[in-house]
Amino acid sequence: MAEISNNAELELTEFFQLEPSLRQFEGDFRRRYRLFEERLAQVERTEGDFDQFTKSYQSYGAQRQPNSGMFFREWAPGAKELYLTGDFNNWNKTSHPFTKKDFGKWELYLPPRRDKSPAVAHESKLKLVILTEEGEYLFRISPWAKYVTKMLDSVTYDWIHWDPIQPYLLQHPRPTKPRSLRIYEAHVGIASPKQEIATYKNFTLNVLPRIKDLGYNCIQLMAVMEHAYYASFGYQVTNFFAASSRFGTPEDLKRLVDTAHSLGITVVLDVVHSHASSNTDDGLNRFDGTDSCFFHGGVQGKHSHWGSRLFNYSSWEVFRFLLSNLRWWMEEYRFDGFRFDGVTSMLYHHHGIGMNFGKGYSEYFGMHMDEDALVYLMVSNHFLHTFYPECITIAEDVSGMPGLCRPITKGGLGFDYRLAMAVPDKWIQILKEQKDEEWDLQNIVHTLTNRRRQEGSIAYAESHDQALVGDKSLAFWLMDKEMYTNMSSLIPMTPVIDRGIQLHKMIRLLTQSLGGEGYLNFMGNEFGHPEWLDFPRKGNDESYSYARRQYHLLDMEHLRYNQLYAFDRAMNRTEDKYGWLASAPAVVTTLNQEDKVIVFERSKALFVFNFHPTYSYSDYRVPVGIRGKYTIKLDSDDEQFGGHGRLSHNTDFFTEDMAFKDRPYSFKIYIPCRTALVLANEDIDYCY
């Protein structure tokens, strides 16, 4: 096992050269780093072994012993007494008391049965019974419970002891960490055209092959951590170690991840450590009868906008619980990393509420920072990347925290990527507020390229946020109600469908090629999924009509959804060959507002965009940095992608020794209106 201690010195010179204004906060950086080092040293001093500390799921909760006895350990500092009840003792709530230990811990041992079988059988129900200082008995689920389910007629979830005789054995190794990260953001429950909750098995059988075919090399799985309220999209977690049972069993999820690995696809878990559900009967809230335990007490422990509870990251046992939770998903299910949700809420005492984060660097330093949460994130990234060097960590942060994705020893928090959350907002704003001829290309390019240097960003034109009810997907903003009637390729395209199909492709290619070091797409949006996303709730009569992805539309070959799907597949496969996401940021050489033309080079490939709604340009001169013969590798106007086929792909473009726009060479090309092109130099080896 890798050494977790940190012996490296903090090096800030390079960071300050990139962003000189940060030098005034050198003391803050050094303080954070010192707190981080102290936290690591504290673990080794008090626990002895960081490896075992982050595997506390092996000693807390329910543990079957080699002799089939059962050992239970819980942390409930506010409890007066603690008992175990369940099927094993006919629900006698006080017949099996725990023994109180130091530091709020409780332990219980159950010997095996006479036939040497475990005292608690696989799939039997359990409950903790907590007697509070006020004399009230509370029924609770262990925070370490690995499986919980809910009967149809029940309001709350039950703790189910999961210990199968023949557990699923993971067979395939983790794939190598992709250099160009192309993420397919997915929710298992909506991954079917049927009006029902889909399953892990359905995803494995029917969705994984599509993801592989499309050319995505990473899946971001949402809503896996158990959440009692389905409509929360998985962001109100009740049971942190339990894979959601509404989609199937833990073994089904293991098979899903393992199958993805067999296809060379990495799988990242959407982890929620920024807050927890306020549920008490089946969540962590008031677990031991007090207002605190895992959370801050009083107002500090409640998120005013989300109605959820906020962790106390300074608590030693919370630290153990959350780090072990990350380790559990990496070890038990062999996930390849995490997308950390709500990082902004974690970093600041104000949780980002009412903040615009545009007033200067002082917004990232000072008393409004939650240093306990910040150090927790640093330690998480440090131990994940130490124990799992290929691990991928992504931060959802709207604040633009400098150094978020820099190495910890170079002044950062250690994430690999941050989500470029301004990009989808920009596209929605443009489609809502501007006519095509009013598009400000300068502003669009600025939004796509305005990111912190040497920090990885995940660009996306839309995610699940834009698909939710109350908003619209890009396809719906572009084509609206005509998607219901005019998507057949057997009839001529209407002006609305023509515009929508062409811009849908161009927006996605521009975002992927210019906007970051990784790319994300929300399931179904690759083919212009119609309608919005809305989970069953009282407001829609508990309907599943919009809680699904209509993949069956792709089975009807005459529908233009297939053309958008084909373009997305070609775009990803072209990126896979030329690797622009893994290369240095693009060099934009042409930004002509009047012509509505953007030209840039990245990874020795040439990108040409003509966003003009009506003007096509013959003999349009484009600058390049490398001499040679260029050919078209991707053409959004190709008929197979729903284009008009106005370009010949057999044409070779030879550079002229004519300097143009600060580049040594150039050539002329025909650019149809509303067309995007990727060209490559045939004289270059593109292995990357």
Tally Cβ neighbours within 10 Å of residue 474: 23
Q: Cβ(108)–Cβ(98) under 8 Å? A: yes
Between helices 441-449 and 495-514, what is the axis angle to 10°?
Answer: 40
288, 336, 396, 462: the catalytic one is 396
For the stretch 175-184, pLDDT in tens is 999 999 999 9
Q: Cβ(679)–Cβ(630) under 8 Å? A: yes
Please tell me the predicted confidence (pLDDT) of residue 2: 57
Q: Residue 578: what are its φ and ψ, rounded to 5°?
A: -100, -15
Please tell me the predicted confidence (pLDDT) of residue 553: 94
Residues β-bridged to residue 629: 654
Q: Is 97 exposed, middle or buried (0-12, 13-18, 19+ CB in 10 A)?
A: middle
Residue length, the chain? 688
Identify whether 396 is a catalytic site residue.
yes
Please tell me the predicted confidence (pLDDT) of residue 6: 64
Identify whether 331 is a catalytic site residue.
no
SS3 193: coil
Query: How far is 415 from 404, CA to CA, in rounded Å?
Result: 6
Please tell me the predicted confidence (pLDDT) of residue 469: 61
SS3 608: strand
What's the whole-model pTM score? 0.96
- Cα 176 from chain centroid (whole Å): 19
Residue with tokens 């389910």: 149
Residue with tokens 């593109």: 686
341, 397, 517, 568: the catalytic one is 341
Please tell me the predicted confidence (pLDDT) of residue 151: 85
Residues β-bridged to residue 488: 559
Query: How far is 635 from 544, CA to CA, in rounded Å?
Result: 38
Q: How far is CA 174 from CA 111, 181, 268, 584, in A?
A: 38, 15, 12, 27
Query: How far is 229 from 150, CA to CA, in rounded Å?
Result: 11
Query: How far is 520 from 466, CA to CA, in rounded Å?
Result: 13
Segments in the chain below pLDDT 50: 1
Give the list of residues 6+ apart from residue 252 with CB closer than 8 angstroms, or none: 199, 200, 201, 204
For the stretch 354-366, pLDDT in tens is 998 888 899 999 9
SS3 116: coil
The per-residue DSSP string of 614-642 comes to: S--EEEEEEEESS-SEEEEEEETT-GGGT
